[in-house]
Chain A
């Protein structure tokens, strides 16, 4: 993989990395926990994109890393949702009415001020 195509793929990968920098800024700033966690998920998704762009130059085994990132980054989201329930083993959807549609009452993970970090200036 040489010449213009290789350079173009690397440039695209660098562009995706710039967006990951923005995601890291969101992890830093928050303010709610869901903001930080979703930004980390974006880093995972962007990482998959970078690996796929690198694969032609770097060897196709990079796609295996992309697969593992895709599956394991989702695991962190499960861990986050679990840890934010009262006993650490529940599911926010079963909070009040177990048989109601999932968004009634609305799930307010993102703006629940009690759950957001207090360290933001």
Chain B
């Protein structure tokens, strides 16, 4: 009975995910595609929960449905202000065959790889054996912060590099200006009220996810993403003003995570344990310290990615009258 109900639920979910994905790609209209992408992220998060991958579900819910949605909605608005938001006519004839065949070739290669590559050995027994010595009980955190901490360190640095890439898109003359657009709201309005209600709740949830990550699904990335949303809402609602790229607290927050991570690795190496090799006794303390610093850096970096490069106060100069739209 339970099995039949579960099967029905899963089939429904598969149909909805497939429809949302198809509609995001196949429908016309940029705005509709963006909204379908947000709905797709929400539904895929449900799918990850059904598969028992709650860590992935948390990341998908926060990134796919939350931050990416805001980023894409802002992009649609910006395209329209620049008079560039128009549907590209569907390709016909020979020109349409090249991308279609290229897409088919990639799909074919992936299918071939799926059958040709050997299945990876299940990590079950080794992981269960090593988990008690990792300092944490959440196997995902154990892998990310202990067994494969090299990968996580490099990912934290990649995030920072991505933010630097976004900042490079700003104009030279705007370098010392605050990040992103100048936000303004009606005092006492809905948006301003939202900016006072949501951030404290989000702060609580973000810190909880960081703390829970040691023993249950959660962790630095999931907590940091929720905190990034808190920062974005507070700035959009005009509760706080965005800093400039030369603000010292901003720079400290950005490098704190990778810095503490790298520092912990070097100290461990100096003590003779080997670079990023966590001794069993200190593992928990090191992981909590690194995760806390990483959470802060991830939050500020992701918020910076959503806000965009430094922009002079009248940086919306690319605005054109509505009539310019073709």
Where the two chains meet, the residues of A that have a C-beta atom closer than 8 Å to any C-beta of B are 2-4, 6-8, 10-11, 13-14, 17-18, 20-21, 23-24, 27-28, 30, 33, 36-37, 39-40, 43-44, 47, 50-51, 54, 58-59, 61-62, 64-65, 67-69, 71-76, 78-84, 86-91, 93-94, 98, 102, 114, 117-119
B73 engages A72 (CB within 8 Å)? no
A79 and B13 within 8 A (CB): no
B186 and A94 contact, CB distance less than 8 A: yes
Whether B5 contacts A11 by the Cβ 8 Å rule is yes
Most buried by B among A8, A30, A47, A71: A71
Which residues of chain B come closer than 8 Å to A81, judged between CB atoms? 191
The answer to whether A68 and B205 have CB atoms under 8 Å apart is: yes
Contact across chains for A87 and B42 when beta carbons are under 8 A apart: no
Interchain CB contact under 8 A, B42 and A102: no
Chain B residues with Cβ below 8 Å from A21 are 12, 15-16, 19
Q: A69-B45, A71-B205, A71-B229 are in contact. Are A78 and B194 (CB under 8 A)?
A: yes
Which residues of B sit under 8 angstroms from A4, Cβ to Cβ?
1
Is B216 among interface residues, defined by CB-CB distance under 8 A? Answer: yes
What's the Cα separation between A62 and B54 when bound, in Å?
Answer: 7
Closest to A82 in B: B236
B-side contacts of A69, CB under 8 Å? 42, 45, 61, 65
Q: What chain A residues lie within 8 Å of B52 (beta carbons)? A: 58-59
Other A-B contacts than A72-B62, A79-B236, A80-B73, 5 sampled, CB-CB below 8 A, are A17-B12, A21-B19, A54-B49, A72-B67, A91-B186
Least CB separation from A36: chain B residue: B35
Residues of B with C-beta under 8 A to A98: 186-187
CA distance A42 to B96 in the complex (A): 36
Residue interface mask B3-29, A partner, CB < 8 A = 1:
011101100110110011001000111
Which residues does chain A contribute within 8 Å of B71, judged by CB atoms? 79
Q: A78's contact among B54, B191, B209, by CB below 8 Å, is which?
A: B191
User: Could you tell me if A71 and B198 are in contact, using CB atoms closer than 8 angstroms?
Assistant: yes
- Min Cβ gap A57→B in Å is 8
B23, B186, B216 — which one has the most chain A CB atoms within 10 A of its CB?
Answer: B186
For the complex, is B177 an interface residue (Cβ under 8 Å from A)? no
Shortest beta-carbon distance from B73 to chain A in Å: 4
Report the bound CA distance from A64 to B204 in whole Å: 12
Given A37-B35, A65-B58: A73 and B65 interface contact (C-beta under 8 Å): yes
Size category, B interface: 35 or more
Q: Known contacts A13-B9, A14-B8, A78-B236: does B54 contact A59 (CB below 8 Å)?
A: yes
* Interfacial chain B residues near A61, Cβ < 8 Å: 54, 216-218
Contact in complex: B42, A93 (CB < 8 Å): no
B31 contacts partner chain A, Cβ-Cβ < 8 Å: yes
CB <8 Å contact, A64 and B50: no
**Complex interface: stretch among B74-82, B105-113, B264-272, B290-298:** B74-82
CB pair A89 B229 closer than 8 Å:
no
Give, as a whole number of angstroms, the nearest-CB distance from B75 to chain A. Answer: 8
Query: Known contacts A20-B43, A24-B16, A43-B43: does B74 contact A76 (CB below 8 Å)?
Result: no
Contact with A along B140-168 (1 / 0, CB 8 A): 00000000000000000000000000000
Beta-carbon contact of B229 and A43 below 8 Å? no
B245 to chain A, nearest CB (A): 19
4 A-B pairs closest in CB distance = A72-B66, A83-B77, A79-B70, A89-B181
Which of A39, A75, A89 is B66 in contact with, Cβ under 8 Å? A75
- Assess whether B254 is interfacial by the CB under 8 Å rule: no
18 A-B pairs whose Cβ atoms sit less than 8 Å apart in the complex: A14-B5, A14-B12, A23-B39, A28-B23, A36-B32, A40-B38, A58-B49, A59-B54, A64-B54, A64-B209, A73-B66, A75-B66, A75-B67, A76-B69, A88-B77, A89-B184, A91-B186, A98-B187
Residues on A with C-beta less than 8 A from B322 are 114
Contact with A along B202-223 (1 / 0, CB 8 A): 1001001100100011100010
